[in-house]
Chains A and B, each alone.
Chain A
Amino acid sequence: MDVAVNKLVKVNINGKDYELLEGMYLTEAVKPIGIEIPQFCAHRWLEPLGACRMCLVRVEKMPKLQIACALPVREGLVVTTESDEIRRAREEMLEFHLLNHPLECPVCDRGGECPLQDLTERYGKYQSRYIEEKLIRADTKLNPFLRMNYKRCILCKRCVRYCDEIAGDHLIEFEDRGGWTKVTTFLGTESPNRFSGNIIELCPVGAITSIPFRFRGRAWELEKTRTVCNQCSVGCNLELHTRLGSLQRIVPAVNEVLDDGHICDRGRFAYGWVHSDARIRKPSLKDNGGFTEISWSEAESIVAQKIRDTVRDYGGDAIGIIAGNSLTNEDYYALRLFAEHGVGTKNVSFSEDICGLSAEHAQLVNVMLSKVGCVEDIMNSELIVLIGADVLEEAPVLGLRVEEAVRKRGATLASISSYNHDSERYANTLVRIKPGAFIFGESAFSSEEFSKLRYEFENRRRISLIFGQELLCGPSPIKSIKAVYQLAQRIERIRQERQNPLERLTVTPIFRGANSLGALILSLKLGVPNQFESMTNILKKATTGEVKLLYLVGVNPIIEYPNGRLAKEAFSKAEFIVAQDLFLTESSALADIILPVSPWIFRDGTYFNFEGRLQRANSCPLTDVVPSDLELFNRLLISMGKGSQFVLPDELFAKLAREADFIPVKQLADIPKAGILTHFESEAHSFEGIEAISTAEEVCSSNSEPLKEFPFYLVPKHYLFRNSVKVRHTKWMQEVVPKDWAILNYEDAQELGISEGDEVVVESKVGSLYFSAKMSEQVPRKVVIIDRNIQDKAINSLVSKEDVAFSVRIKKA
């Protein structure tokens, strides 16, 4: 438990006086003063257990040896951690630990980084006196990623405690008792778990090892590169382990102020695609339906020629450039230069996450950036409100830190959502709204539903609002975002009126991209705002012929853009489409030419995570046959006769930093390991400038009934293990990808005569798709939840942009 660790008290260890933090457990407290007390079952994340007895020490006036892992530092504590008696105790304990242990270090993946190996070498005896028959039990699989080797297990229970106390999913428990105890999943039913990979490092021996990494390299053979994960907006710090020219595994790199060493299973295991054959490695030109590979020089000249012709015939603005949300800041900056100087077009969009966001929303973006909270803000707040945000699925490690704040720092968790999602498991205040009706103004605030929440708003000193994908993927995201900021404004106003001012109020969006914030900053904050256009407008201009050439950079509108029909129409009307991507996706398949680019592990650059923390990504010591985005832009500029504008990310970062005063460091190399928070508050934009949500708008959205013949609300769900292109091309991820479910309420299913697993048709006024039915208590009446990323079943084909609510009907196929 978190003890108020503040006072320094005098203690005597091995005859010398020290000053240590009061209340801290001795095993942790002595680390900074260079004393090592061996431990297996204790860990800073976990409550002390006292099972392995490695940390036995002699405490003055105590008859028996005491375990240091549960001994809080107190004034006048006298402890001996090095003596014959203690040395012998550690030898005895290690002999017991190694009783059943097989001598298979040569074939154990943990070799070279195994605490048991290290401690035995340091404290153990040379020979074990055990000649009896060792307990042998066959290895098993704990889940698709983890292999369990019982012979090596020393039953320190770290894995079980991690799953119960922190990850919150009951993946594994102890079975049987005494010497025959073992770790099992019940019936092999692997409940969905998002952080199971962390128990690989947590296990102090080689009992739990990664299946994808099995026998792929010894710890000392791997080159280690510290970088930042690019699979969600949290930006956990990772270490890429490479060998023989390929990425072998990903492990956490521990950034205390952000991820504290936890990473999710997607960030850890979804890397198989980097070396998959499905990646495009040569430029490909469309000819009668298929693609033929062409040389780089040929491809560059075709694209350059196409751009020059289009500009000559129709002007620069006839070229629409749409960029995804996971490029580095340097790629974005290069793309901006390419668009401004190379092409001279204003039809450029970096806003994949909020596709309606354009230059006119610059003020909203400023407010958004100035109110963003960092992890410390969120964990320090007394009230955390999730507004349409299933953080465990959308930003898993942030979800973990929020739950840590609730468990250990007594924060209150509230959630406003249309259905009960996993991130609500610690919430004690739940507000249910109609799907998509995140537009709450005055009437909602004073409604009965909000009463419990109102009390919290009026009394808590530090509040964090977090809004996420359920809101952003709803029918009217921009209005909903405005509603959130108005809610924040209303809270501030009430607190001023009652002379009970807030200490801290932050509003933090959870976007899908690794650099969504960077994209917004480089387009609608830093750049000349009217140089940018919304993704929606560009697609519309393509349908009207205003935009002739579409240039896609790492984006997949055909399935990602909310209105599938508009995207398809735009693609069909455009005269020429260039796609810069890693894979053949639904969108790049419709392009006229595909220019392959390298994955993020080969790039140096920077990202802004959801906190606005600038973090550096380093490329691992491998070479890739394809260029990075910014290299490609530069080569195109050269082919278009504009000359080389930039070569290295460092140059681009320097330019960016000069332009942005809120970035405190001016050189790429100066960015500290844990990244650096950018503070936009200096341009103290309070909330004005966001026009109030009219009560009319609020009324029409909150009681927007779905149409008679389409009685169900469709809620698009952004899953952690969604079958996106990267997961699709990682073979060991296939078992965790959500099936093609349409999740219904039990009574609704009964009324429609649908049982679990039946094939159902989900129909809207613009399209229909087949799914398999699944029931859950989490889903309220008249709501159906469907994954946004199901291959060949993109639900954006059911949705049209003007819908006030996504309404569908369901019937058995």
Chain B
Amino acid sequence: MESLALHEAVKKFVEERISKYPTKRSLLVPTLLLAQEYHGGYISPELVKSIAKYLEVPEQEVHSTASFYSLLNKHKVGRHTIMACHNVSCYLRGGDSLIKKLEEKLGIKVGQTTPDGRFTLISVECIAACGGAPAMIIDKDYFENMTEEKLDEVLAKFT
């Protein structure tokens, strides 16, 4: 299985920061998070092999570390990822029904991807937005004080 070439942005990210760490391996976690964006949105075995080679870390350890963190996707995902919070403060202000509404709107269940590959819907633990509960993140943006009415307007921003 050929290991794919790392995207330039990922290499630049590492080269810029390498001088600030005593070991090259220290950059593994942020590099995995960034590399995921440029390589199909998930940590594929090929990506593990090329990061292992680039950061000089054994493949098994890159795979093991990648499998620990929940933001690093293990499977293919849609173009956009909706992360709706199902923790206590969001639950108290209607977070669960917001997620139910999202499932109905997108026609998929939590953990699945829309057939057209546009959205992947997952429910996540507290995202430090309890003041603006119920809250969710789509890709990199926070959406707080969400109501079912606002849903369409927010989803429209992501094609």
Contacts and interface: CB of A to CB of B under 8 A. Distances in A.
A is bound by B: yes
Interface of A: 170-177, 185-187, 189, 191
Given A186-B48, A187-B45, A174 B64 contact: yes
Contacts, number: 33
Contacts of B63: 173, 175, 186-187
Nearest to B58: A170
B60 A176 contact: no
Secondary structure of the A contact surface, majority rule: loop
Q: Which of B61, B63, B64, B68 has the most CB of A within 10 A?
A: B64
Given A170-B59, A186-B59, A189-B59, A175 B45 contact: no
25 contacts: A170-B59, A170-B61, A172-B60, A173-B60, A173-B61, A173-B64, A174-B64, A174-B67, A174-B68, A175-B63, A175-B64, A175-B67, A176-B67, A177-B67, A177-B68, A186-B45, A186-B48, A186-B59, A186-B60, A186-B63, A187-B1, A187-B59, A187-B63, A189-B59, A191-B60
A173 B64 CA distance: 6
A173 B61 CA distance: 7
A203 B67 CA distance: 23
Contacts of B1: 187
Interface string B129-144: 0000000000000000
Interface residues of B, number: 11
Contacts of B48: 186
A671 B58 CA distance: 45
Interface in B32-65: 45, 48, 58-61, 63-64
Contacts of A186: 45, 48, 59-60, 63-64
A185 B60 contact: yes
Nearest to B68: A177
Interface of B: 1, 45, 48, 58-61, 63-64, 67-68
Contacts of A173: 60-61, 63-64
A109 B2 CA distance: 39
Given A177-B67, A187-B63, 17 more contacts: A170-B58, A170-B59, A171-B60, A172-B60, A173-B63, A174-B67, A174-B68, A175-B64, A175-B67, A186-B45, A186-B59, A186-B60, A186-B63, A186-B64, A187-B59, A189-B59, A191-B60
A176 B45 CA distance: 15
A26 to B, nearest CB: 31
Contacts of B45: 186-187
Q: Which of A171, A175, A176, A185 has the most CB of B within 10 A?
A: A175
Contacts of A187: 1, 45, 59, 63
A187 B3 CA distance: 13
In the A-B complex, list the 8 residue pairs whose CB atoms are closest, starting with the nearest. A173-B64, A170-B58, A170-B60, A186-B63, A186-B60, A173-B60, A175-B67, A177-B68
A583 B132 CA distance: 79
Nearest to A172: B60
A171 B60 CA distance: 8
Contacts of A171: 60
A185 B61 CA distance: 10
Contacts of B64: 173-175, 186
A177 B68 CA distance: 5
Contacts of A176: 67-68
Contacts of A175: 63-64, 67
A342 to B, nearest CB: 58
A796 B148 CA distance: 80
A661 B69 CA distance: 66
A225 to B, nearest CB: 37
Nearest to A163: B60
B51 to A, nearest CB: 12
A171 B63 CA distance: 12
A186 B45 CA distance: 9
Nearest to A187: B45
A686 B48 CA distance: 56
A107 B48 CA distance: 38
Nearest to B63: A186
Contacts of B58: 170
Contacts of B59: 170, 186-187, 189
A186 B67 CA distance: 11
Nearest to B52: A186
A213 to B, nearest CB: 26
B109 to A, nearest CB: 20
Contacts of B67: 174-177
A171 B61 CA distance: 10
A8 to B, nearest CB: 39
A174 B66 CA distance: 11
A25 B45 CA distance: 41
Q: Which of A170, A185, A189 has the most CB of B within 10 A?
A: A170
